[in-house]
Amino acid sequence: MNINRVDAPDLDDDAPVNRRAEERIPARFEVRFAHKQDAAKALRAYSLNISAGGLCLRTRKAYDVGSPVSVEMLVDGETFQLQGIIAWVRDEEEAIGVRFTDVSEGDRLRLQRVVQNIKR
Q: Is residue 86 part of a domain?
A: yes
CB atoms within 10 A of CB 62: 11
Q: Is residue 36 part of a domain?
A: yes
> Which domain, by its residues, includes 70?
26-119
Q: Is residue 3 part of a domain?
A: no
Query: Which pLDDT value is given to residue 5?
Result: 46
Question: Consecutive 10-residue runs of the chain (120 residues): their mean pLDDT?
Answer: 44 47 86 76 82 92 91 93 96 94 96 91
Q: Is residue 15 part of a domain?
A: no
Cα gap 14→4, rounded to integer Å: 14
* Sequence-ordered alpha helix ranges (H) in the chain: 36-41, 105-119
Q: Is residue 30 part of a domain?
A: yes
Query: Which pLDDT value is given to residue 61?
Result: 82
How many separate domains does the chain show? 1
Q: Is residue 83 part of a domain?
A: yes
CATH number, domain of 62, equals 2.40.10.220
25 sits in which H/E element: strand 25-26
Query: Which pLDDT value is given to residue 51?
Result: 93
